[in-house]
RNA sequence: GGAGAGGUGACUGAGUGGUCGAAGGUGCGCGACUGGAAAUCGCGUGUACGUGAUGAGCGUACCGAGGGUUCGAAUCCCUCCCUCUCCGCCA
């Protein structure tokens, strides 16, 4: 959510952001309702002041034994008017709040303006996207043949778009999770957290998934809880409605979680294998930082995610998302794509975003500066570090051998009981 | 799920209809005292919104959340949420 004062002061910047991001938000209505509300507040506050002063007088009169009935009946009328004002204002506030929640974050000036993913800008590449063998095979073939993947079983259990790892496949998944968590906690300075995998509406609204993306989420109808689409939701909400001590910043968390996504509207895309599924594991990094440092923190966050791929020896590229591809809540975002030779594609394994104070304002996450100044909103960032199935695809496809084995990257071997290959 | 107790400011803890944004204490900040410190004393110490010049000031709201009663609610009534204790159930 943006600061209403900011929207009021610079509506053109907000209009441009809405257009550049390809979002829809009724800014004009928001502005006019805001103006209407402020006028009502002035009137209502005057009446309330009258009520407060008169109530005090009534108390005094009664104490002295004077007759206050005339003033009381006067105030009865004032109170009724106040009530009417309050109701109108509450209605306006609800509508303003609902509208404000649909206004997207404003892209950072360094973000290229563009329509869709074709306008994203390549920042850097690492490694050589090579063919590990003459005709590299896709992960689903390799996985099935080695008996580490049983997709028909997952379909029996939950339907298409779910995964069932078996034996060394399951171990590989677990090894990747532990490897990533270890690197981020021991070398990158993150504190590991393990959070609920369901979250309520407030938490979902705080990080910006709601109200826009309700259709994309699994919801439990009896309790109105949502299966989290990313650990960003629970981890960011750890500090909802708090004022953090400025000396504590930056706060860096990393957590593993499964992620649940209905992928509504993406039917027919990437239907084979593990590329696009309804449930996947992910290690997620989240930072709470002072506003001045958030763009530096975005660079280091991205570097932390890249480090995982480098240690795994997987070629990747980093892109800056253009305005049209930038998510609703983000001000700037880098996507990291890993090379997958079997499917012959770059797979997005991480999205590293700076939300500036957009999520913090929705979630009420503030900090008190060390110099004792007024509390301000923190900047929040998050990035995958990394998404598991696609990383696993990259490992399996890059490390496949011509005779159908899969070598284990050196960095993972300690987590695979020293195993050098799956055969 | 059942029974009971309770949710007040950074913390602790008063407050059962008006003088309460809220006593007292702790903590924190500034000052005095001191060679320096401790102790002691004095002053100060919430957030949001509106108004105003994004100042001073003024106003309004906030005592778990939302409704209600009343001229007036932290205080009374209703609903919900959360915490604690006991019982039941359960990994």
CB A231 within 8 A of CB A256: yes
What is the pLDDT, as a whole number, of residue A152? 96
Which protein residues have their Cβ less than 7 angstroms from some atom of strand B?
Answer: A 4-5, 38, 41-42, 44-46, 48-49, 51-56, 58-59, 62, 72, 75-76, 78-79, 90, 366, 374-375
Q: Which of A276, A311, A317, A405 is catalytic?
A: A276
What's A4-100's CATH class?
mainly alpha
Task: List all residues 6 or more positions away from A153 whose beta carbon is below 8 Å from its beta carbon.
Answer: A164
The nt closest to A35 (CA vs C1′) is B50
Where does CATH 3.30.930.10 sit in chain A? 117-422
Where does CATH 1.10.287.40 sit in chain A? 4-100
Q: What is the mean pLDDT of chain A?
A: 94
Q: Which of A361, A362, A390, A407 is catalytic?
A: A390
Token couple for A287: 């930072």
The nt closest to A54 (CA vs C1′) is B71
Token pair 């002061």 is found at: A9
Token couple for A309: 């791929």
Token pair 């109200």 is found at: A211
Distance A27 CA to B56 C1' (A): 34
The nt closest to A77 (CA vs C1′) is B71
Q: Which of A300, A348, A368, A413 is catalytic?
A: A348
What confidence tens digit (pLDDT) does each residue in A344-380 have?
999 999 999 999 999 999 998 988 887 767 888 999 9
Give me the CATH topology for the region A117-422.
BirA Bifunctional Protein; domain 2 (3.30.930)
Q: Which of A199, A327, A350, A351 is catalytic?
A: A351
Neighbouring-strand partners of residue A219: A226
pLDDT above 90 coverage of chain A, percent: 83
CB A239 within 8 A of CB A288: yes
Q: What is the mean pLDDT of residues A167-171?
A: 98
What is the pLDDT, as a whole number, of residue A244? 86
What confidence tens digit (pLDDT) does each residue in A298-325 have?
999 999 999 999 999 999 999 999 999 9
Distance A230 CA to B11 C1' (A): 35
Q: How buried is residue A127: exposed, middle or buried, by Cβ count under 10 Å (0-12/13-18/19+)?
A: middle
Q: With 80 as the cut, is the pLDDT of residue A161 above it?
A: yes
Known active-site residue A261? yes
**Least confident interval from A82-96, A182-196, A234-248:** A234-248
Please tell me the distance from the alpha carbon of residue A329 to that of residue A76, in angstroms, as a whole number. 46
Which of A245, A244, A121, A256 has its CA nearest to residue A179?
Answer: A256
- Winning range, highest mean pLDDT, from A192-196, A365-369, A396-400: A396-400
- Please tell me whether the peptide bond between A109 and the residue prior to it is cis, using omega within 30 degrees of 0: no
Distance A414 CA to B39 C1' (A): 60
Distance A56 CA to B29 C1' (A): 35
Is the Cα torsion angle A3, A100, A265, A282 positive or negative in sign? Answer: positive
Token couple for A7: 């929207």
Q: With 90 as the cut, is the pLDDT of residue A64 above it?
A: no
CB A165 within 8 A of CB A149: yes
Which of the nucleotides in strand B have any atom less than 7 Å away from a protein CB atom? 18-19, 47-51, 59-61, 67, 70-72
DSSP state of A96: H
Reported ipTM: the value is: 0.89
Q: What does residue A51 show for φ and ψ, rounded to 5 degrees?
A: -60, -45
Give the SS3 label for residue A115: coil
Neighbouring-strand partners of residue A335: A319, A351
What confidence tens digit (pLDDT) does each residue in A14-38 have?
999 999 999 999 999 999 999 999 9
The nt closest to A52 (CA vs C1′) is B72
CB A186 within 8 A of CB A255: no
What is the pLDDT, as a whole number, of residue A379? 95
A215 vs A76, A95, A162, A212, A262, CA distance in Å?
48, 21, 19, 8, 8
Distance A375 CA to B26 C1' (A): 23
Known active-site residue A306? no
Residue A208: half-sphere exposure toward Cβ, Cα within 13 Å: 25
∠ at Cα A264 (A263, A268), nearest 5°? 80
Cα torsion A70, A72, A78, A83 to 10°: value is -150
What confidence tens digit (pLDDT) does each residue in A261-304 have?
998 877 777 878 999 999 999 999 999 999 999 999 999 999 99
What confidence tens digit (pLDDT) does each residue in A206-252 have?
999 988 888 999 998 878 889 999 999 999 999 888 888 888 889 99
Q: For B61, which residue's CA is nearest its C1'?
A: A45
Task: List all residues 6 or more positions away from A152 whose beta carbon is below 8 Å from its beta carbon.
Answer: none
Known active-site residue A257? no
The nt closest to A61 (CA vs C1′) is B18
Where are the strands (E) in A151-293, listed by range? 191-193, 198-199, 219-220, 225-227, 242-245, 251-260, 279-289
A164 vs A123, A151, A156, CA distance in Å?
35, 6, 10
């Amino acid at each position: 959510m943006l600061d209403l004062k900011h929207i009021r002061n610079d509506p053109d910047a907000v209009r441009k952001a809405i257009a550049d991001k390809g979002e829809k938000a009724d800014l004009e209505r928001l502005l006019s309702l805001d103006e209407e509300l402020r006028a009502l507040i002035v009137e209502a506050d005057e009446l309330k002041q009258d009520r407060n002063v008169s109530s005090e007088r009534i108390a005094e009169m009664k104490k002295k034994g004077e007759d206050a009935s005339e003033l009381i009946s006067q105030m009865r009328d004032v109170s009724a008017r106040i009530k009417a004002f309050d109701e109108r204002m509450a209605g306006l506030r609800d509508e303003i709040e609902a509208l404000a929640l649909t206004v997207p974050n404003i892209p950072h000036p360094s973000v290229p303006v563009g329509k869709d993913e074709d306008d994203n800008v390549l920042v850097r590449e690492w490694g050589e996207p090579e063919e590990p063998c003459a005709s590299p095979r896709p992960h689903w073939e390799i996985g099935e043949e080695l008996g580490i993947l049983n997709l028909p079983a997952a379909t029996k259990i939950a339907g298409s778009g779910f995964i069932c790892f078996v034996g060394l496949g399951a171990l590989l998944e677990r090894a990747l999770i532990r490897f990533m968590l270890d690197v981020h906690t021991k070398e990158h300075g993150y504190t590991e957290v393990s959070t609920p995998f369901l979250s309520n509406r407030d938490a979902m609204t705080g990080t910006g998934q709601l109200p826009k993306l309700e259709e994309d989420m699994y919801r439990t109808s009896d309790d109105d809880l949502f299966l989290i689409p990313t650990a960003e939701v629970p981890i960011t909400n750890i500090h909802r409605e708090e004022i953090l001590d400025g000396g504590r910043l930056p706060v860096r968390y990393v957590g593993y979680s499964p992620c649940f996504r209905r992928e509504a509207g993406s039917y027919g895309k990437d239907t084979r294998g593990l590329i696009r599924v309804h449930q996947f594991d992910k290690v997620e990094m989240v930072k709470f930082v002072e506003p001045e440092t958030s763009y530096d923190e975005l660079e280091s966050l991205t570097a932390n995610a890249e480090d995982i791929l480098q240690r795994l020896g997987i070629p990747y590229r980093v892109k800056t998302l253009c305005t049209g591809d930038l998510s609703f809540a983000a001000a700037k975002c880098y996507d990291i794509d890993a090379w997958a030779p079997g499917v012959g594609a770059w797979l997005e394994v991480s999205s590293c975003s700076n939300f500036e104070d957009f999520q913090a304002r929705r979630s009420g996450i503030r900090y008190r500066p060390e110099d004792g100044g007024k509390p301000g909103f923190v900047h929040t960032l998050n990035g995958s570090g990394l998404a598991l199935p696609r990383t696993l695809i990259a490992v399996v496809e890059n490390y496949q051998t011509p005779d159908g084995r899969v070598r284990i990257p050196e960095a993972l071997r300690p987590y695979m009981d020293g195993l050098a290959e799956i055969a």
